[in-house]
Amino acid sequence: MNMLRRAALAVVMVGGLAAMAGCASMPAAESGQDGAPAPAEATPADPPAAPPGPAVPASPQPPAAVADEPAPTPAAVDPLRPEVRLDLDDRSAQLDLWARLRVGFAMPELDNTLVRDRERWYATRPDYVQRMTERGSRYLFHIVEEVEKRGMPTELALLPFIESAFNPQAISSAKASGMWQFMPATGRNFELRQNVFRDDRRDVLASTRAALDYLGKLHGMFGDWHLALAAYNWGEGNVQRAIARNRRAGLATDYESLRMPNETRLYVPKLQAVKNIVARPAAFGLQLPDLANHPYFLAVAIERDIDVELAARLARLPLDEFKALNPQMNRPVILAAGTPQVLLPYDNANHFVRDLPQHRGRLASWTAWVAPKLLRPADAAKQVGMSEEELREVNGIPPHYLVRAGSTLLVPRSDQRHADVSEHLAENATMALAPDGPSMRRVALKAGKRDSVSSVARRYRVSAQQVAHWNGVTAGSSFRPGQPIIVYVVQRATTAKSTKSTKSAKSAKSTKARAAAPMRKAVRKAARK
């Protein structure tokens, strides 16, 4: 029984369990809709790198002196229609979601050699297509619902296949992140918060909302879906300039007529190829996994801070699967003030709703602490009762760095620090670091053809972790040719010495010249006689 059939069965199970729970005066889990992320599309040229982030250490044990805390009773809802309970007997819920997608195709067809090339690429990689579509099965229902609500072509629901292969953890060498590959600035423009505790570019619900908002804006700007997609990939300003250039030259201004980078030139053909495969998989010798036309997951409210590991355990869900549905968390704790809900598959949502109120003991092992001044990590760790190694690991502090005043650190709860993190900190937490040791000089360079984080680190005699931190990538990432790279190197005293020696040489030369001047004057005078 594949994953989608298990999900369908889980829906029925939740209905039955919810009914039994209702008889026992327990809250029933409402069904809902949504989709969640998966691993990045690995095109032959530039596979997306895994996102950076600190490893999650084991949760510290709570002090014995702290009393058990009552756990709130959560409710599971459909994120798109929280007021509506899903009718599991509805025949439409049993329809194939692929068929629903096909009915909504509405973009103009693109038919050229680039489309044929991409079709062949996918057709010769059936295992890759299978993995990609199975990952996407978590999220597609939610995306299709959002697309249809806005009256958009359902082809747009396939765009994460092109952007990230439905990997919500995907991060590019240019720092684009998430299933929809938002750059940091663009994400902020569309209200995707990025701070110490979370990155909404990886949030399934928030990033989907933002991506469709952005695509809708671009379509309104250009009046053409192909141009809107080009602008999504290349930037609206670049597309506007390309159109203006063609107009001045008396040329056509459609997508195929514009001069653009190869990546953008291939962007719409890739989407068209995936669309063609979804429309006629057998024609390409491919088989798509079954996709039921109902939500894969529910949204469950979080009213108290809770450890990620504990939430996964109460939901009876493997930690990796929990993180795949809730990839926005940067730290091993879910802050209720910043992340008021988590996404869970049907049966797991029912477990969570039932088991959380029965939990005794602390829900969260971690809280936030703001550094009062510039501190060495060792000193900060001593103040909050943890080892320096653990403090660095959980907060992503690289070697040879100090923590600046005002930085928000995740620290263990204690008798003195046991409250949930405030909304202000959850929404605005920042981390600022300063070099520990000799003054550092900022070096800006552009990547060569084969530059990677490790090769740059070796060249400048710094660690790969440092280069990755400075550039917002992982230690195993490669750079695109021409990509800007930032490196910090020790500001050595050689410059001062060199300056001093230069000055000394100039001074000596000047003194020598002054001493020789009378001799030259005497020689000239004698010559005149």
d(CA 291, CA 133): 9
How far lies 471's CA from each of 40, 444, 447, 453, in Å? 20, 11, 12, 9
* Active-site annotation holds for 163: yes
Alpha-carbon span 298 to 303, nearest angstrom: 16
The helix, strand and coil proportions of the chain, stated in percent and rounded to the nearest 5, come to: 45, 10, 40
Compute and round to an integer the Cα radius of gyration of the chain: 29
**Contacts of residue 210, Cβ cutoff 8 Å, sequence gap at least 6:** 180, 182, 187, 190, 191, 192, 200
Alpha-carbon distance of 489 to 358, in angstroms, equals 54
Q: How many helices (H) and strands (E) does the chain have?
A: 20, 11
Q: Which amino acid is at 224?
A: D
Active-site choice (109, 163, 256, 388): 163
* Tokens coding 392: 């660095």
- Identify the H or E element spanning 265: helix 262-279
The encoded tokens of residue 116 equal: 């044929």
What does 213-246 look like in DSSP terms, one character per residue?
HHHHHHHHHHS-HHHHHHHHHH-HHHHHHHHHHH
Which residues lie closer than 8 Å to 527 by C-beta, 6 or more apart?
none
CB-facing half-sphere around the CA of 35: CA atoms within 13 A: 34
Question: Which H, E and C letters describe 80-134, residue by residue?
Answer: CCCCCCCCCCCHHHHCEHHHHHHHCCCCCCCCCHHHHHHHHHHHCCHHHHHHHHH
How far apart are the C-alpha atoms of 43 and 262, rounded to whole Å?
Answer: 13
- Residues marked active site are found at 163
